[in-house]
Structure 1
Amino acid sequence: MFVSRVLDANAGISTRTSGWALAAAAFGVAVVVLLVCYWQTVQSLVWVWDHDGTYQYGFLIFPLSVWVAFGLRQRVRTHPPAPSVWGLAAVAALVFVWYVGRLLDVNLAQHFALVALFPALVLACCGWSALRVLAFPLGYLVVFAVPWGDGLVGPLQDITAHFAVRALELTGTPVLLDGREILTPSAVWMVADACSGVKFFIACIALGCLYAYLMYQRWWKQAVFVVLAAVTPVIANGFRVYFTILIGETWGLKYATGTDHLIFGWQFFGAVLVLLLLAGWFFRDPPVAREHPHENGNMPATPRMVVWPVVFALLIVGPAVAAGLSSPAPAEEMPVTAPAVAGWSGPQAAADNWRPTFNGAAGQVKGVYRSDAGSEVVELFHAVYTGNPRRGHTLITYGNRLYDPAQAQILSTASRQVNLTGDRSLRAGELRLSGAAGPRLVWYWYCVDQRCTSSQMLTKLLQAWDVLRGHLLQSAVWAVSSPIGEGGVDQARANLRAFTQMLPATASADPQIGREYVPSGNEP
């Protein structure tokens, strides 16, 4: 319970001994060096907190972690500081992770390394005993200060859609689920990204972890409450969508959309959160006053103190090496033309119904093809990136999308086996979109030199491997799309399958044909 933490904070002797004074000073200097040398990463992390509504709670994580750690300071000082070589190794590993993230322009890797360096510095400067005592605030910092929840949006959308449909069926409302669209007699409801409840989900887990730590002494109570804090927002969001649709079906759409819809959502989530905390309050553990041994501020052994300057040096090495790299030259623009496809006429100028966005590409093209044997239409998009990934010129990065979210929403995702010419095959991703221009099916894959995949993570790993080997990198995205007409999804899939079977070998990054995309001169 919170009271017990306060008692922990006030217990013991307040006199700071020389050993801990030196350890605290070393940790403070290391934090200052970290913030100064990695200031661009700090700014990037704060920018994400500020501009992405999902992670605005991140502004509270550092102050809360410092507050909890400050309450544990007397327990930390009951053991003498013992700088650890293992902490030194952790700092070196995280600096390397940051460097690779900087080299590949992967913000998540840089953000994780920055935040994870704080517990690594505690271990390096103060030792294992301090790390064990501060395990919760440091772990809390690493888990919740890093923006990691984007991958949860799709699964939460699917869970919410299925939950709401099942609830509507049980209460007698005629309903049909089509991917993430819910069809009722009055309207078609889309469980969009904003309806996934990811904001409430992550924030509720973060609050639940802190609440469980402060209120419970028994580990099983803490675990139960954290699980409850994770399950409750998912169920609550399902009910929220269910009630929204039910209100629209019963009293009219004007009461279920617009401002009233937003107000109802926040009021509902607020009420659920209050009920969750009240339920946890009744099962709280009584405060326990812990008695701690006297402080042990003996000086660490002299060889161990060598760890401190080495830590400072390691923190400086990563940014220094990154800054020492020659600034990459602007990407050379490349004329990329859409290929000729046997059995299909085109390419022709594409309409604006489907808008893939890949900024900073060295070259890109978009065209429309029509089947010679019928009226089937397929659109192709292809973008090429050359050289190492760098800010503003990265294949997989925030803002690069296979569709315009202002025009369309994802109904469902899948994976398909795609056969190309020359008996080549690859695994492509599939998006089924719904929007103002009508439903659409998209197949896509990414290629790094001669290796193709639909996984963004694997694409990043392939790029990292080539960069670390010093290999001249070439990466690309291919996407083909067909509108879903009267023939339905199966007909659209058949159109894409017939088109890709005639697609030239460039789509699988054939090394012989792919060389035409390499510009003359040396790439950075």
Structure 2
Amino acid sequence: MNDGSMHAPEERHSTKGIIALLIVVAFWVATFWQGLVSAIDIWIISDIFNHCLFVIPASIYFIYCKKEQLSLSAIKPNYWVLILCFGSLGLYGVGLSGGVQLFMHIATFTFLPFSIWFLLGNEQAKRILFPLFFIVFCIPVGEELIPTLQAVTADLSVMMLQWVNVPIYRSGLYIEIPEGRFLVAEACSGISFFIASIVIGSLYAYMNMQSRIRRFSFVCISILFPIIANAIRVFGIILTGHLTNMEHAVGADHLIYGWVFFSLVIICLIGLGELIREKSSDLKSETPLAIPFASSNQVYIKASVTISVAMLFFLFWYQLIQSQLIAGTSPERLKALPFTSAQVTANWSPEFVDYFDKNASRFMFESKAVDMYAVWYPKGRGELVSFANRMYLEDSWTLESVYSVPINTETVINVEQIVNARGVRLLGYWYFVDGEIFSNKNHAKLYEIYQIMLGQHYGSGLVMVSAEIEYSTLDTDKAWFSRTMSSKFSAINQIFP
């Protein structure tokens, strides 16, 4: 009988194949070192991404379990996959130029499975498809979904409260009942539940299901289930506060209920999986064992040299990019504006990190006070567009609405209406990147990356203009605020070097 079971492991996995694979992994570590280090820092620091520490060991284990179906002595490189490899390498360069860690992490943890796919070829890569691309779960991504999950959780929980006739008033992410006020904060978004559920659901589907339809259905369930479950959790907390006159479901109770509820969610998810999975009579036979054959030395050498030279070329390019990001010896600071004073409000405080200079001041327009806050990031001095930078603290303020104000025929500025327990504010802002104005942070970031890659970047800044208003005169105050920004726009931009 001529199948893979007749061949010894040393015939199936030759030294040449193992060395070729190790070369690819070693060059991957060297090329993407900065992306790896920054990702590991996030895994360790953030509770949301602690699971990422176990992803690569799990992938290695699952690949090891498939060792009888593989043959490293017979690699058949697929050179078309190099297109995907080059895409990851290019994305890493873009991320490095703009300090966009998300791009760097995506590139880092997609290049590894792509490069292994290239080396092994289609047939063998297909045998380890899930463990190979399970590595993608190493990407610390998902925090960007927090505002969306907060809004969805608030929408669903309010709908459930209306079902049981609890009197409520909603203002942004604040939900008020007669007994008190609740805020659907970042911790209530359920992002940890959401990400963990997807990872566990994917693992369960791979380990316990064979049908692609069943696997896909269960992964979809693992995406939707935690969103609905988290909304039920928030609904239960508010309802408990309503029924107990706020004696329970406040303070530390949130954390206790959260972890207990999360455990129940996972148990229920696995229970659903048990209902969906195939019965023993429906299981198909295992994938046939690989039939090894000997690849010539030239195949190993050509494949290893090709991918290694590609990584070395891009590594040289990365070094050139990093040389352009070195800070100047004495960058200019922000200029003082003659119509501003040092007096600023205490109840609105943006949060920015690693800035080179800032200006927090106040000016008067039509007898009303306007607060201004500007930050400046010259070349090589921190990152302006970053998730760590906040124009207002989410613990103190919540977004109620957004609208646009035309400043001139070419410029439109976004204005956010934010609220808290003490009042409401209007907040207008714009980005200043190498002399160009942007109202969208993504556009500003892309232009900054473009300038860096051309070697023409000298600095990026952000202006925030804010004022307290009243709901009773909302329309009048909005018109006044628009006049304020239109009148002072050009003068304020003189603050930048």
Give yes or no for the alignment of 1:94 onto 2:82: no
Instruction: Answer yes or no: is the 8 Å Cα contact 1:338–1:367 preserved in 2.
Output: no
- Counterpart amino acid of 2:308? F
Residue equivalent to 1:430:
416
1:212 aligns with 2:184: no
Q: Is 1:498–2:483 an aligned residue pair?
A: yes
Aligned pairs (5 A) from 1:221-300: 221-285=214-278, 286=280, 287-290=283-286, 292-300=288-296
Q: Deviations over 1:58-115 (max 9, x none)?
A: 1222222222222222223399311232344433332232233223222111111111
The one of 463, 467, 474 equivalent to 2:448 is 463
Paired residues for 1:472-511 under 5 Å? 472-487=457-472, 489-505=474-490
- Does residue 316 of structure 1 match 2:305? no
* Corresponding residue number in structure 2 for 1:5: none
Per the TM alignment, residue 348 of structure 1 is displaced from its structure 2 partner at its CA by 4.5
The residue that corresponds to 2:398 in the other structure is 410
Q: Which TM-score applies when normalising by structure 1?
A: 0.85
Query: Following the alignment from structure 1 to structure 2, what is the Cα–Cα distance between the partners of residues 297 and 451?
Result: 60
Q: What amino acid sits opposite 1:355 in the alignment?
A: S
Q: Are the structure 2 counterparts of residues 222 and 293 from structure 1 closer, same or farther at C-alpha, using a change threshold of 3 Å?
A: closer
Q: How far 1:200 sits from its partner (Å)?
A: 0.4
Deviation at 1:314, TM superposition (A): 2.9
Name the SS for the 2:363 alignment partner.
Answer: strand
User: What SS does the aligned partner of 1:234 have?
Assistant: helix
CA distances 1:474-518 after superposition (whole Å, capped 9, x unpaired): 3221211122435365455334212112123266x6xxx6xx844
Distance 1:486 1:413, change over 3 A: closer
For residue 401 of structure 1, report the CA deviation from its aligned partner: 1.6
In structure 2, the partner of 1:396 is 385
Residues 122/294 of structure 1: CA separation in 2 closer, same or farther (3 Å cut) = closer
Distance apart, 1:26 and its partner CA: 0.9
Q: Equivalent residue for 1:332?
A: 330
Decide which moves more: 459-468 or 87-96. Answer: 87-96
CA distance in 2, matches of 1:250, 1:12: 70
Other-structure match for 2:427: 442
In 2, the alpha carbon distance for the partners of 1:466 and 1:146 equals 27
Share of identical aligned residues, percent? 23
| TM-score in terms of structure 2 length | 0.90
- Which residue of 94, 114, 118 maps to 2:112? 118
- Select which of 101, 118, 121 maps to 1:107: 101
Deviations 1:24-72 (A, max 9, x none): 2211122123224433322211111111222122122222222222222
Matches of 2:28 and 2:146, distance apart in 1: 32
Matching residue of 1:132: 126
1:343-382 matches, within 5 Å, as 346-372=340-366, 374=367, 376-382=368-374
Query: The residue matched to 2:364 in structure 1 has which SS?
Result: strand
1:167 CA displacement:
0.9
Q: Residues 425, 100 of structure 1: CA spacing in aligned structure 2 closer, same or farther, 3 A cutoff?
A: closer
Q: Is the 8 A contact 2:12 2:73 kept in 1?
A: no
**Residue 232 of structure 1: how far off its partner (Å):** 0.8
Q: How many residues align?
A: 489
- The structural deviation recorded for 1:296 is 1.8
Residue by residue over 1:108-149, the C-alpha shift from the partner in whole angstroms, topping out at 9 and shown as x without a partner, is: 11111111121122123222222222221222221x211121
Q: Which amino acid aligns with 1:457?
A: N
DSSP-derived class of the 1:378 partner: strand
Assess, with a 3 A threshold, how the Cα gap between structure 1 residues 119 and 413 changes in structure 2: closer, same or farther: farther
| Deviation of the 1:178 alpha carbon | 1.0
| Cα deviation 1:137-195 (Å, max 9, x = unaligned) | 222221x2111212211111111111111111110110111111101101111101111
Decide whether aligned partners of structure 1 residues 15 and 238 sit closer, same or farther in structure 2, where only a CA change above 3 A counts.
Answer: same
Q: CA deviation at 1:305?
A: 3.2
* Matching residue of 1:386: 378
Deviations 1:412-450 (A, max 9, x none): 352x32233x54431425251426x64333222223234
1:7 matched residue in structure 2 = none
Do the aligned residues in 2 keep the contact of 1:48 with 1:147 (CA within 8 Å)?
yes
List alignment gaps of at least 5 residues for structure 1.
1-9, 519-524
Gaps of 5+ in 2: none
* Contact 1:156–1:197, Cα closer than 8 Å, also in 2: yes
Structure 1 CA distance, aligned partners of 2:95 and 2:290?
44
1:175 touches 1:183 (CA, 8 Å); kept in 2?
Answer: yes
**In 1, Cα distance between equivalents of 2:183 and 2:241:** 13
Contact 1:429 1:445 in 2 (8 A): no
Q: Which stretch of structure 1 is more off in the superposition, 21-30 or 169-178?
A: 21-30
1:181 to 169, 174, 183: 174
Q: In the aligned structure 2, how far is the partner of 1:398 from the partner of 1:279?
A: 36
The CA RMSD measured in Å over matched residues stands at 2.7
SS of residue paired to 1:504: helix
What are the superposed Cα offsets for residues 233-277 of structure 1, whole Å, 9 maximum, x if unpaired? 111111111110111111132311122221111111211210120
CA deviation after TM superposition for structure 1 residue 294, in Å: 4.9
Q: What amino acid is the match of 1:209?
A: S
Could you list the per-position Cα deviations for residues 356-388 of structure 1 after superposition, in whole angstroms to 9, with x for gaps in the alignment?
23334343212212233x4x322112223333x
| Counterpart secondary structure, 1:487 | helix
440-449 vs 211-220, which deviates more?
A: 440-449
Quote the residue 1:3 is aligned against: none
How far apart, CA to CA, are the structure 2 residues paired with 1:262 and 1:487? 38
